[in-house]
Structure 1
Amino acid sequence: MHASKGDRLVMHSRIVGQPDRVVEVVEVLGADGTPPYRVRAEDGHESIVSPGPDTVVDHRKASAAE
């Protein structure tokens, strides 16, 4: 998995009826775009994640309005 600052991680839910979690990469802590990543959720909460196989990278950059 490779991501850059501004990319989004889509973490697919494993629970029926629970929505996927989408976070924005604010810092890449691994070498050459690899995990771990510092991410920011829609509510502003930041955390460090090492995504699992149920996560995909959305390489579209976040808009300035978000």
Structure 2
Amino acid sequence: MIQTDAAINPGNSGGPLVNLSGEVVGVSTAVIPYAQGIGFAIPANRVKKAIEDFIQYGRVVKPWLG
């Protein structure tokens, strides 16, 4: 997870989180209410891997034990 102070409001999760160069570095997912605008994003490389897995396997492949 990426912690950010970028404005993430209810209804706009799923939008891109970009750096100062305009590169997408993550996808906004959550905000902590009443926490002075602290938000979280999934890193872009993890999103890319999930999409590739979904296309190839029809699901997201995650490691597990047991």
TM-score range with shorter-chain normalisation? 0.3 to 0.5
Structure with greater strand percent:
1
Name the TM-score, length of structure 1 as normaliser: 0.39
Name the TM-score, length of structure 2 as normaliser: 0.39
- Greater relative contact order (CA < 8 Å, ≥ 6 in sequence): 1
